[in-house]
A = this chain, B = another copy of it.
Amino acid sequence: MSIRPTIGIFDSGFGGLTVMRALLDLVPHARYIYLGDTARLPYGSKSRETIARYAVGSGRFLEAQGADMLVVACNTASALALDVLEAESRIPVIGVIEPGAAAAQAAAANNPRANGVLVLATEATVQSHAYARACSTRKLAAFEKACPLLVPLVEEGWTDHPVTEEVLRIYFEQAFGDAKADGIVPRTILLGCTHYPLIQPLIARVLKKHFAVHGPMRIIDSAVATAQRVAGRFVMSTSTSNEELDCRFFATDSIEKFQRLGSRFLRRPIAHVQHVDLGG
């Protein structure tokens, strides 16, 4: 008999499903409970107090549902509310910032002079400077760039579109210029928002097309790095192949929209979503 841990994952919306997707490959024998706080998304433009209040409510819900571990799959909530969540929870809490910074460090290890990291994130994540701090303790120099248009562009479905390409070009042009002024030469791009993996191919193309002068870049996805960190906590079961995936989904707004948009992020059909009212 295998012991199946229950992993609770929460995000403001659908983006955290990219973390869950990576986890399903690495820890398929776990039970999963995913909560998307879609009635109050996005968190990325809101204040620390509001985000902490929302995050604690979501954490409590997942703990009450039987989660043995809480994965904060939202960069903004990880950046602004991880300390509050750790204080309020009786189960281990894992955010996406630390694993992302660790992956950037691993990428830089092969090239000691490549210690510059460009972090793309929401306005709130950037203002918290959580990535810069996590990178700094690893002797990496991070420049953080707020990219508020990327989430709406991904949600519009323009993941391979000239407008998104132009917005990325403008953001990178500003970021490389401002980083240079701060004495930082980025060699690693850290995707500090769970929506951004959906435009990772476009990001790679824009870098190659317009910014090749800055040299080759490594692109790090915090979602994958976080899934690897969580997987490291579990002894892998060797008899999982016959077990079905065990996933439950909750959303605070429309169930239909969660099924439709969420399937794009998870890359699997989402058959059943339960509505939950967290008092908003």
> How many chain A residues have a CB neighbour from B under 8 Å?
28
- CB-contact partner of A50 in B54, B167, B253, under 8 A: B253
User: With an 8 A cutoff between CB atoms, is A47 at the interface?
Assistant: yes
| Most chain B beta carbons < 10 A, residue from A49, A149, A153 | A149
Contacts A40-B40, A163-B170, A167-B163 known; A50 to B254 CB distance under 8 Å?
Answer: yes
B46 and A254 contact, CB distance less than 8 A: yes
| Most chain B beta carbons < 10 A, residue from A40, A49, A155, A280 | A280
| Most chain B beta carbons < 10 A, residue from A38, A45, A49, A54 | A45
- CB-contact partner of A149 in B40, B156, B257, under 8 A: B156
Chain B residues with Cβ below 8 Å from A206 are none
A253 and B47 contact, CB distance less than 8 A: yes
Contacts A163-B167, A166-B166 known; A254 to B149 CB distance under 8 Å?
Answer: no
Chain B residues with Cβ below 8 Å from A152 are 148-149, 151-152
B-contact bits for A30-41, CB 8 A (1 contact / 0 none): 000000001110
User: With an 8 A cutoff between CB atoms, is A215 at the interface?
Assistant: no
- Nearest Cβ distance between residue A218 and chain B, in whole angstroms? 27
Chain B residues with Cβ below 8 Å from A253 are 46-47, 50
Chain B residues with Cβ below 8 Å from A46 are 38-39, 253-254
In the assembled complex, the Cα of A46 lies from the Cα of B148 at a distance in Å of 19
User: With an 8 A cutoff between CB atoms, is A112 at the interface?
Assistant: no
- Nearest Cβ distance between residue A96 and chain B, in whole angstroms? 23
In the assembled complex, the Cα of A167 lies from the Cα of B46 at a distance in Å of 25
- Nearest Cβ distance between residue A248 and chain B, in whole angstroms? 20
Write the chain B residue with the least CB distance to A261. B45
Chain B residues with Cβ below 8 Å from A39 are 40, 46, 50
- Nearest Cβ distance between residue A254 and chain B, in whole angstroms? 4
Within 8 A of B (CB), among A13-58: 38-40, 45-47, 49-50, 53-54
Write the chain B residue with the least CB distance to A256. B47
Q: Apart from A49-B254, A148-B155, what are 15 other A-B pairs with CB-CB below 8 Å? A: A38-B46, A39-B40, A39-B50, A45-B155, A46-B254, A50-B252, A50-B254, A149-B153, A149-B156, A151-B152, A152-B152, A162-B166, A163-B170, A166-B166, A280-B280
Interchain Cβ contacts under 8 Å between A and B, 27 examples: A38-B46, A39-B46, A39-B50, A40-B40, A40-B280, A45-B155, A46-B253, A46-B254, A47-B254, A49-B254, A50-B253, A50-B254, A53-B280, A54-B280, A148-B152, A148-B155, A148-B156, A149-B149, A149-B152, A149-B153, A151-B152, A152-B152, A162-B166, A163-B166, A163-B167, A166-B166, A279-B280
